[in-house]
Amino acid sequence: MKAVDLGVIDYGTALDIQTLAHDLRAGSWDEDILFVLEHEPVLTMGRRGGHDDLLVTESELADRGVPLYRLSRGGKITCHYPGQLVAYPVIGMEKFQGDVPRFVTILEGVIIQTLADFEVQGGRIPEHRGVFVGTDKIASIGIEIRDRVTLHGISLNVREDLRLYRMFVPCGIRDKGVTFLEKVCPSGFPISMESVKASFLTHFARAFNEEIPDLMDKNSYEEQYLIAGVQVAASANPQSAGKVSDKTWI
């Protein structure tokens, strides 16, 4: 497994990066990849999302400089912002025999173990996907399976920032709140985005029976792996680019 830290990045650029990695993994690549990052402020709407969960108009979003992306992932509306850890695993589903709920349950477990490293007890609520602290949601999950390889992933609220959350109903859940790691972490417990990334990466690798990989930056990833992967894919099957099939969402 490779792991890449994209830093703070706009949503469209990150989507292009993970989509290309997905297409390579579904074709010539045989190695999984995990992207970790933070996004510039953005709202995203999954396949079950609708305007009923938006509390402002799209023109108001535009006026505030907050783009809205409509996606093919599962779930409803969520937000991303600097201070929230986002992780996009691009993983072949062969080892799970197509069992998407099991894959999502494993991701929830990774988040729960990460929170435990900061002395925070996370848990599940049966009727909702994601991870909660009490009745407040701290992490969201939205997955798409395309050509038996995963797209999209998880977001974990680290720094407290409610500005975007005031613009929509998070995940369409009207009777629960949202919370943040720095808010629920015991007083005096040191938190940094780097420490949260390291904890998440450790538990993610263990959950998927992988060695804990070193994080490479975006430039190293593109120079060492991406360019070569694109060249191999084009040589192997130049007609396959853009092919879409076998979709699943959760």
Tell me which residue has tokens 């490479």. Answer: 216
Question: Is-catalytic flag, 171?
Answer: yes
Pairing of strands 215-217, 2-9: parallel
Q: How many residues does the chain have?
A: 250
Neighbours of 30 (CB within 10 A): 7
Coil, helix or strand at residue 71: coil
Residue of 156, 171, 196, 201 with catalytic role: 171
Neighbours of 216 (CB within 10 A): 16
Distance CA 185, CA 178 (A): 14
Positive or negative: CA dihedral 39, 138, 36, 185 = positive
What's phi and psi for 35, nearest 5 deg? -100, 130
With a CB cutoff of 8 Å and minimum separation 6, the contacts of 130 are 108, 124, 137, 139, 140, 141, 171
With a CB cutoff of 8 Å and minimum separation 6, the contacts of 65 are 41
With a CB cutoff of 8 Å and minimum separation 6, the contacts of 120 are 133, 181, 184, 185, 186
Q: Which of 148, 113, 158, 108 is nearest to 128 (CA)?
A: 108
Give me the active site residues, please. Answer: 171
